[in-house]
A = this chain, B = another copy of it.
Amino acid sequence: MFDIANVNSTLVDFDPVSGLSRTRKSLVRRLSHMKAIFHDRAAVDRTLQGEDPVIYEFYDMGMPETSGDVAFGTSIAYPGKIGDEYHMTKGHFHTVLDTAEVYYCLQGHGLMMMESPEGAVEVQELRKGMAVYVPGRYAHRSINISAEDPLVTFFAFPGHAGHDYGTIETKGFRKLVVERGGAPALIDNPLWIK
């Protein structure tokens, strides 16, 4: 607006409905990138014979990875199911385990699944206007339980947190959310590795 060189601050657009940025490139996660994440492997294979759907996408602003910085962006999980399991993000621990993350829901209806290394499980419901604070030490995953709408969140976490996707990819979460009789149900993950 004024004739000032903005050299250190950053301005980014994230559409509050779609979650998408017109100026930044998202990281796209298709089903083929997360075949081992959904519990119904036969449903994964059947789906991939026809298409390779985008399950979710998110933004990484590339902020410095220091404890004084804040990593932020939007995450968009698209509606749908693989077998009876709702579309969701891979989920991750932070590499620096005891670092938190906040999610503010901009659109949609979903769940935040959280699990500590010791096996404490927490689930919070996300709707537009709800903020969920994921405390340090909890792996977390967003699950879209709407049949029609993307689940769009704005997230922020400490710059030095890092991502540990490997633990979840190897072991899985202890609990899954599947559709039973048209509604979300929490079940034990049959593929969970202790």
A1-47 CB contacts (< 8 Å) to partner B: 1-2, 4-16
Q: Are A9 and B68 in contact (CB under 8 A)?
A: no
Q: A1-B125, A101-B70, A156-B70 are in contact. Are A106 and B61 (CB under 8 A)?
A: no
A132 touches B9 (CB 8 A): yes
Contact of A158 (CB < 8 Å), options: B4, B12, B67, B123: B67
Residues of B close to A15: CB separation below 8 A: 129
Q: Beyond A106-B16, A131-B11, A156-B70, is A1–B96 a contact (Cβ under 8 Å)?
A: no
A146 in contact (CB, < 8 A): no
- Contact A6:B124 (CB < 8 A) given known A14-B104, A102-B156, A132-B11: yes
Using Cβ atoms and an 8 Å threshold, which residues of chain B touch A123?
1-2, 4, 6
A8 to B137, CA, bound (A): 10
Contact B100 A133, beta carbon cutoff 8 Å: no
With A9-B133, A133-B9 known as contacts, the answer to whether A70 contacts B157 (CB < 8 A) is: yes
Give the interface residue-count category, chain A.
35 or more
Q: Which residues of B contact A136 (CB under 8 A)?
A: 68-69
Which of A's residues lie within 8 Å of B, judged by CB? 1-2, 4-16, 61, 63, 67-70, 72, 96, 98-102, 104, 106, 111-112, 114, 120-125, 128-136, 138, 154, 156-161, 184, 186
